[in-house]
Amino acid sequence: MDKNKTFPTIACTISLLTLTLFFLGHETSDLLQYNRQKILSGELWRLFTGHITHWSLEHLTWDLCMFLFPAIILEKENRKDLLILLGVCSLTISLAIWFFIPQIHYYRGLSGLDSSLFTFTCVWLTRTNIRKKNHLSAILSTALGLLFIAKTYLELKNGQSLFVSQKDLFIPIPQAHLIGGIIGAAYLPLKHVHKKYSGRSRNVRQLSANTVVKKQLDGFIIK
């Protein structure tokens, strides 16, 4: 399949669903947001769906603007990677809030997933540009990654989001940005390691199988 002709179905569907949920009103979002008490009572889908709910139009706008472009890039490159990255990141952020920030009872927003997509894109662009010897582009994508680190540091230090200013509506959780950023940055290197060692294991198994067959044939010939 031509990557340039791949329609970004997943990225567009998530964006459209996020928009729809917001304009359906807070009552609808209440059914899907991260809600500690509801999760405790068995509504485990909230660990995933809380990320597509939002508190305000400003919150929604920032999150969607940061989500759509890198999600489209990744989906055109590898749709499976997009699904894995979003699934792992959604669950990990929610579980981190559950276990390490138990005072947070409600959580909404794509920003953690945005951070994951952003750092993934930075790493992917840097690796691609280094391979193609586009050194200036590699430096620029690396600089974007460093800016993300600086942004996250300031958010953690100040305890608030750098862009969304409506602190009276919700409590910002910059830890979600940190976790998402780490997962996104680590995804490609971990995938490369997994591919390398799974390929090596496959070769070892094939070699072992060939050795067994050879011994069986040798034994048959001797008889």
| Calpha distance 63→221 (Å, rounded) | 70
Nearest to 188 by CA among 64, 97, 47, 77: 77
Q: Are 70 and 85 in contact (CB under 8 A)?
A: no
pLDDT tens across 48-75, in order?
A: 999 999 999 999 999 999 999 999 999 9
Q: Are 172 and 161 in contact (CB under 8 A)?
A: yes
pLDDT tens across 193-206, in order?
A: 888 877 665 555 55
pTM of the model: 0.86
pLDDT tens across 89-100, in order?
A: 999 999 999 999
Number of domains in the chain: 1
pLDDT tens across 157-170, in order?
A: 988 888 876 666 78
Q: What is the CATH classification number for the domain harbouring 111? A: 1.20.1540.10
Domain that holds residue 217: 3-222
| Calpha distance 223→221 (Å, rounded) | 5
